[in-house]
């Protein structure tokens, strides 16, 4: 079994010429900061001090990490200006066209495509770990009928840590292997159980005779038939959507998994932090918000007025904009083509017309163009999920199933990276200086 690539610690800079000379106007001193892979080390700023012997040295200040690399990674490459996304060097378009989610999950973690024996063993292992402990069923039954499925999924994945205490041996590769297999295998089962709970339907147990995606669809949709037959259009659409959502370098939820994982907690607990971050409407929760926005617009004739409202500061055009992509999100292009195929089967509906009109107007309006706001992966995915009869609040759960592969690959890369240690950022203190305590109340 090939070891995941350990991120090599850079020993030399990009050459002696690659450095910046920083002159401190407070002291007149000039400091040479080496440049490695297009970055300076924030720690090098500490040597820039005033004459005051108590001066701790300079910090870098970067709220929301707009221009700060938290790690070195070889998993996913994004070029936001060119709209490029590659997993381990393979263009997302080619993987979406020809790969499977489990092949991509292997690739993300191992760095290379699996050979047939590796792939068959991986599929076997995932297939035979899809069941969850019966206590998980009782745990899920404890939620209200209208609980949000992301809250249920987050709690359930965190609860899995209580079933597998040996998963805390995170530096034992065999324990990491089985934990990663358990999460890839059981998250779809738990997600489907959440769906059935919301519908008031009995849970459907895994069918090990089906593919990863078809088994998930069976656990979601099977009723009294002996074996569920997935619509091949929906099955392929979901496979592609899982591939597209599998990883995306250091996004908010992956950063959460890396930060929590850096305390050396088990992977179940680290991943539940990622699910929590993904739940947010600015991140994975956006696909749910896109549908709610479209429902609020109600008719294509209301689109111009809605756009004017956004431009006037009344809310955001959900599914548009991205921290990294300042051009079209390459995943959105693929999802839009997928939507066309799905809607040929289910028929073009009013909501797709609204989405297409939103995009048409936004892409020609200077407010959005000047801010480089283009459709992101979430803009069209909700329309496909809705056409597959998934409820709006379930869309982000589907995102989480796919991102499990990326979160765990990034988690392991962080653990094996010799430069990494517990994440503990600094701050620029803006509070009071020392002052004497004088109580004003009676305790
Ligand atoms: C995902 O990081 C990832 O990789 C995430 C992700 C992944 O795969 O993991 O790609 C998945 O989360 C996709 C993004 C889904 N979120 C949404 O669709 C929500 C709507 N989008 C925005 O909230 C926003 O675009 C973000 C959060 C995605 C990015 O925000 P940034 O980079 O912090 O940009 P910003 O908020 O500073 O916006 C810059 C300007 C602002 O206007 P001004 O203050 O300069 O006048 O653009 C405006 C913003 O108000 N703006 C929008 C807008 N997004 C930004 N205006 C209207 N509609 C929007 N959607």
For residue 15, pLDDT beyond 60: no
pLDDT digits (tens, 9 = 90+) for 157-191: 999 999 999 999 999 999 999 999 999 999 999 99
Q: Which residue among 244, 321, 381, 404 has the greatest number of ligand 1 atoms within 8 angstroms of its CB, and so is best to mutate?
A: 321
Mean pLDDT value across residues 73-90: 97
pLDDT-based confidence at 16, cuts 50/70/90?
Answer: low
For residue 60, pLDDT beyond 90: yes
Report the range of poorest mean pLDDT among 119-123, 260-264, 332-336, 346-350: 346-350
Residue of minimum CA distance from atom 14 in ligand 1 = 283
* Catalytic center residues: 283, 322, 378
Mean pLDDT value across residues 193-199: 96
What is the Cα–Cα distance from 109 to 193, expressed in whole angstroms? 27
For residue 152, pLDDT beyond 90: yes
Please give the CATH superfamily to which domain 72-418 belongs: Citrate Synthase, domain 1 (1.10.580.10)
Query: Using a 6 Å cutoff on CB, does residue 377 contact ligand 1?
Result: yes
Q: What is the DSSP string of 140-186?
A: HHTS-TT--HHHHHHHHHHHHTTT-GGGG-TT-HHHHHHHHHHHHHH
Mean pLDDT value across residues 298-325: 94
pLDDT, residue 179, reads 98
For the chain, the structural domain boundaries read 5-65, 72-418
Query: Using a 6 Å cutoff on CB, does residue 322 contact ligand 1?
Result: yes
pLDDT-based confidence at 349, cuts 50/70/90?
Answer: confident
Q: Which residues pair with 19 in a beta bridge?
A: 34
For residue 1, pLDDT beyond 70: no
For residue 229, pLDDT beyond 60: yes
For residue 356, pLDDT beyond 50: yes
Instruction: Return the ∠ at Cα 42 (arms to 37 and 47), rounded to 5°.
Output: 120
Mean pLDDT value across residues 360-366: 92
Mean pLDDT value across residues 313-331: 92
Q: Are 232 and 178 in contact (CB under 8 A)?
A: no
Query: Using a 6 Å cutoff on CB, does residue 371 contact ligand 1?
Result: yes
Query: Using a 6 Å cutoff on CB, does residue 285 contact ligand 1?
Result: no
Å from CA of 264 to ligand 1 middle: 31
pLDDT-based confidence at 352, cuts 50/70/90?
Answer: confident
Residue of minimum CA distance from atom 43 in ligand 1 = 371
Query: Using a 6 Å cutoff on CB, does residue 111 contact ligand 1?
Result: no
Residue of minimum CA distance from atom 1 in ligand 1 = 283
Å from CA of 285 to ligand 1 middle: 12
pLDDT-based confidence at 13, cuts 50/70/90?
Answer: low
Residue of minimum CA distance from atom 3 in ligand 1 = 251
Residue of minimum CA distance from atom 24 in ligand 1 = 321
The percentage of residues in the chain with a pLDDT greater than 90, rounded to a whole number, is 89
- Residue 202: helix, strand or coil by DSSP? coil
């Amino acid at each position: 079994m090939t070891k995941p690539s350990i991120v090599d610690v850079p020993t030399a800079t990009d050459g002696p010429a690659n450095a910046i000379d920083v002159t401190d106007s407070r002291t007149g001193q000039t400091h040479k900061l080496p440049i490695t892979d297009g970055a300076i080390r924030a720690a090098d700023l500490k040597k820039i001090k005033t004459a005051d012997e108590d001066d701790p040295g300079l910090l870098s200040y970067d709220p929301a990490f707009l221009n700060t690399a938290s790690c070195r990674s070889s998993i996913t490459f994004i070029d936001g200006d060119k709209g490029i996304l590659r997993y381990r060097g393979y263009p997302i378009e080619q993987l979406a066209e020809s790969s499977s989610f489990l092949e991509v999950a292997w690739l993300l973690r191992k760095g290379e495509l699996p050979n047939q024996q590796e792939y068959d063993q991986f599929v076997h292992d995932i297939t035979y770990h899809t069941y969850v402990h019966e206590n998980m069923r009782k745990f899920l039954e404890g939620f209200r009928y209208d609980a949000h499925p992301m809250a249920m999924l987050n709690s359930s994945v965190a609860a899995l840590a209580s079933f597998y205490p040996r998963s805390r041996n995170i530096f034992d590769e065999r324990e990491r292997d089985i934990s990663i297999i358990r999460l890839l295998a059981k998250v779809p089962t738990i997600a489907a159980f959440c769906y059935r709970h919301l519908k008031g339907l009995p849970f459907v147990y895994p069918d090990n005779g089906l593919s990863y995606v078809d088994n998930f669809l069976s656990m979601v949709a099977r009723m009294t038939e002996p074996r569920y037959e997935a619509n091949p259009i929906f099955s392929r659409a979901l496979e592609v959507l899982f591939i597209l959502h599998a990883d995306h370098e250091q996004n908010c939820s992956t950063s959460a998994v890396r930060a929590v994982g850096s305390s050396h907690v088990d992977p179940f607990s680290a991943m539940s932090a990622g699910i929590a971050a993904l739940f947010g409407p600015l991140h994975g929760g956006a696909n749910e918000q896109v549908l709610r926005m479209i429902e609020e617009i109600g008719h294509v004739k209301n689109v111009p007025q809605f756009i004017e409202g956004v431009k006037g500061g009344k809310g955001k055009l959900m599914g548009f904009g991205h921290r990294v992509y300042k051009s079209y999100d390459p995943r959105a292009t693929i999802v839009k083509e997928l939507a066309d195929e799905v809607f040929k089967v289910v028929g073009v509906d009013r909501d797709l017309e609204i989405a297409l009109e939103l995009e048409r107007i936004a892409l020609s309006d200077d407010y959005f163009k000047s801010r480089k706001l283009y459709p992101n992966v979430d803009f069209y995915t909700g329309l496909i999920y809705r056409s597959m009869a998934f409820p709006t609040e379930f869309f982000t759960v589907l995102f989480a199933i796919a991102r499990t592969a990326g979160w765990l690959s990034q988690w392991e890369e962080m653990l094996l990276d010799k430069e990494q240690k517990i994440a503990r950022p600094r701050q620029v203190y803006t509070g009071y200086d020392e002052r004497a305590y004088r109580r004003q109340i009676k305790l």
